[in-house]
Structures are given as structure tokens and as C-alpha cells.
Structure 1
Amino acid sequence: MAIKLDMNKAYDRMEWDFLEACLEAYGFNGKWIHRIMKCVKGASYRFKINGEMSTKIFVETPRHFEDEHLGLSPETITHAIFHCPWTRPVWFASQLQINHDSNNFQCFGDWILLMEDSLKNQADFHAMGLRIIALTTWAIWKERSECIFQGRPPNPCATVAKLSSSILEDYEGSIQVQDQASNAIRGQQSNRRSHWIAPPQGRVKINVDAAFNKTTCRGAVAAICRDETGAQLMSHSRGIHAPSPLVAEAIAIREALTLILNLGLDHAQVESDNKEIISLIKNGKSRWEISLILQDIHSLRSGAGGVNFIWTPREGNSHAHDLAQSKARSLIFVN
């Protein structure tokens, strides 16, 4: 006799309390949630053996997973998302750079409410911040699930890389929706993002930009690497301290060269919308305000084969500009 059972579904992967908490967080009607949870928790099975039907067997919610990498631990929401040691660097490396203290809240729902209250003070970043939290939570949950069911250790670095791409895609999607809405109101099609020029075949282009707050002398730099087809190979952003916008733009270009060396890219193009810095680099000139950074740039350039520096109008650098602005807003929120 052979029995084949395919039960590796949602019942094995998600705690039902987590599902119910998510439905409540999204604001579904309580009666509807109750009916859905009855369907989830009320599943049963019967077996027919030698023509006789067995009694009903009810499925119980998963209690724990035993894994050589994660150990034996309750599969609660708080544990899966916060208590696992590998999740902390993921949260910190996300766009929000959250360094959370699990003792400040009792459960995942309490933490979401705390974050919601914090985001209310950042009206221009509220929606984006919530989406980043959702994407980060999903990335952690998916990685944990794959770790358990594929028998491999969790990989925080890979999770952060996937998360970075997801956040950028989400942000670009929201920008496109806003552009389409604006176009409908104006009755014309926007060409805001149609000016990026692809690099020659076999080469990559890194667009860089900086966002700067003159009041706080804080900001962010961003870099987006794409190939000749326009496909994004990677993106990077981080917060900085700088005395002026020019210094911030110079740091962004230095960041791009560091990425080129770390990734081992040959004959890359670095594109910026700051005409003054591109001119200084090309002509080998300097300016006292950024003289030390320019020295770093020339030193890094000598170690990276065949790097070209290109100026582009703001329209051709909109993706890097948006990423830098988003990172700068998130830093304002965190602090």
C-alpha cells in the first residue's frame, strides 16, 4: 500500500493567530474575519480504509518548528519577526534602519501600532514608511519559511538585497501611479522618466544623487546600477553628514566608485546631475570645499579600470534622485 499526502501548505507555514492579526490590522469587518477563521480552523480530513470512512481528523495550528539553524522555538509572530537573531540586521539594514527593542512591546500588533503613531508625524513619508514595514516583514517571513522547509540557514545579506529591490520597485510603482494620475488631470502624457540613456553594450551605468537638509546638515546618497537593457543590477543608499550640498554630491560619486571596486565592475559609467563636480573631475581641477573627497575619487578611479564620468539633466537622473530623497526622509523619521 502507498499513501501520498501533499500537506505542505499554509497550515504548515503560518500561525493562524498571525493571519487573524493581519486581517484585523488591515481593517476587515470583524464578522467577516470570524467567518474566514472558522474556515481556516475548521478544516478536517477523513480517510477511507477498506471501504470504511474514518472519523474526522481536525488540523491543529502549528506550534513549533525544530530546525538545526533556528532551534526549537514557538512559531509566534513576535519570535518569527523579531526574536530570531538573524532578523535584527535585516531590520537595521532596511530603508528605515530600525534598531528595535523587543521589550517595548508585547506582540507584533502592538509594535505596528507604535510605528503607526511614529509615522503620523511624517505626513510625506507615512504611506511609504508603512509599505517598507510591510515589505520588510514579508521578506523576513519568507526567508524564515524557506530556511525551515528547504533545510538551509537564513541569509540576512541575501534578504536585505531582495528587500532593497522590492522597496525600490514599490516606490517606482507608486511614482508611476502618481504620474498617471497627474497626466489624467493635465490631460497629457508625462515623459518625466524617458530621458535615461543606456550605456554601451557590455557596460553598466551607475546613476548617483544626494539629498541634503541645510538646517540639520544631514542627508542621504543613493546609487542605482543598470545595464545596457535598463535592467537594475543593484541599488544602494545610506545616510550622511555633510556641511553643504556640494559635499553631499561629491560623497555620492565617491560612493559609486567604492561600489564599482567592491563589485569588480570594468568600464563602468558614473552619471550625476551635478555639472560642477563632473567638470572638476574631468578637468582634474579642485575646489577647497571638496578637495579631500576629490582626491579620494581620483585615487579610487585609478583602481577601477576605465570609469567614465557623465553629466545628465535631472530628468535623466530621476530614479537616483527619488531614492536619495526617500532615504533622507526615512532618516528624519528614525531620529
Structure 2
Amino acid sequence: MDKLKLYFDGASVDKILRTSVSLFGREDRFCWPFRLDGIYTIKTGYHVARNEKSLQNNNPSTSVDLKFLRQEIWNLREPETIEHAWLLCPWTRAAWFIAQIQCCHMALTVSSFEKWMMELLGKMRLNAGAIYDLVWEVWKARNLAIYQKINPNPIMVIHKAKLMELEFAKMIEEPVKHATTSVGATAAVFRDHNRTLLSGINSTIVVASPLAVEALAVRAALIMSQNFLMQKVIIESDNQILIQALKSHASVAEIQVVLDDIRHLTRGIPNCGFTWVPREANSLAHEVARLTHQGALHQNWVMHKPISIRNILRKDNLAVSMLGNNS
């Protein structure tokens, strides 16, 4: 930690500590954290850039400056002005007019696109992102008209811009989820077919999300299973995203390194499966993790169980006996 602080700023140290690494020397690869599959797309890049800008300036009337506008809007290569392309062309005028803001542009009232945008935001105090979405869709529609001879449809442009705004609203909180680091705890408990507690592992970690914690716990459990030379293992977790990814071999960018390690470890166990259980059925592991996080669990806790763990085991044993009697 001290060495990291010598060479990196606080924000970078935070990100480094939250980065999962492979235990088997796998090669590094680029991963885009704002998509589940880790693949970068222009659309998500645009959304993230917009979100970062909005976080810096929350006031709509001051959130856009001329420099940022120049960076956001691609320069036209056609022999026409930006003002004509985005504001004064007959079909773009129709799009702006029938949009929610209902602007009616004329050559006499538009001196430059940037000044017009700043004045609009200042007077109407609109969400800058909504206007950006409309500009973006206008730009795409003009490209289709020029290069593929597809006639632009103002109503369709407005519809697509609205969909983009709604999509952005859903994912705007995603970068925030990756913004903080805290100390958490992992726990895995080993039980036989009668759900009798055999052993357990637990540790404190620097954590990025509950999903990452669960994935690290599964990896630790599989390592211990191999050390015990177990031939048949069923991993239970109450995290649906993790179990679905393991069952379908899907990618999850946030934990991909750990997923790859888990899949590597399962190849060393003859019979290994994964199943989802409700949180209530995973209460023992959660209690071990909670006590570990609080520093209230001694090293030999399996042999000398705390009262809360004994109570959970007693309740589980009662449930198993009742199930056996009913069958």
C-alpha cells in the first residue's frame, strides 16, 4: 500500500486495489467495465463521457462550454456549414420543431451553432444530455442520407434520441458503482450431503462489489476443494448473476479474471457443479463473512463455534430432519 501511494494518486491506488488478478498467470487484456461483456462500443463510450461531464457540472445552464461542444460534435466533411447541417436544413428544422423543445430556426437568428446551443440551455434550463442525443441522431441520419441515400425521417430521429436518453438514464449510475472501495470479507463453508459442517475458509479483502466478493469466495472454495482432493463438489451461491455466468459460460467484465480462474479450477475436479440458492439457505456463509468483517471470528472457529453460528447450524439440522420425516 505504501509503495502504491508513492507512485500513484489516491484515485489510482483505489482502482489498483479493486482490480482482481488471476492466480494462474493469465495474460492481461483490455476490458471495458461499463458493459457486462467487457467489450467497448462507441455508444457506451459516449454515455460514460456524458456522465462524467454531468458529474463535474450539475447545473444544466453551465454544463456545456464551447470547447466541450467542439469535442462532442464531429466536424462535417461536406461543403456546408455546421449551422446548416444541424439547424437550417429543411428536415433538421422539422426535427427540432416537432421535438419537445419546439425550436424554429432561421438564418437570421442563428449566427453559430455553439452560441445557439448555449443560449438555448441558458434560457430554457434543459437537460443538456437530451439535446446531445438529438444532435447525435441528426448526425447519424445525415450520414445515412449522404452515404446510403436513405431519406431522413424527423419523427424517427426524435424517437431514437428519446430511446437513447432513456437508455442513458438506466446506466447513468453504473460508473458510480465502481467509484468507491471498502473492506469486505469472503467466506466459504464446506458441508456434506447431510449439511453437516466440515470446514470453512474466511478472509478480509478490499472489495469492489458484492458480485466480486462472491466470485472470490467461490474461487477460494474451489482451491480448497482441490487441496482436499474432493471428487464431487456442488457450489451454492445466492448471487444469480454469478451462477448464471458460470452455468452459461458467459462473460462478466467486472469479475472476468476470477471467472476464468474458477473455470480453470473446475477442470481439476471430476464432478463439479454450480447452483443458485436463496439467501436464507446461505445464511451460514453470510454469518461467517459478517463476523470476519467485524473481526469477531477467531482462527479456530470451526472447532469452537460462536453462538450465532451454532444457532444457524441447529436450525439447519432441524430443517433437514423435518424434510427427512416428510419424505
TM bin, normalised by shorter chain, reads 0.3 to 0.5
Between 1 and 2, higher relative CO (CA 8 Å, sep ≥ 6) is seen in 2
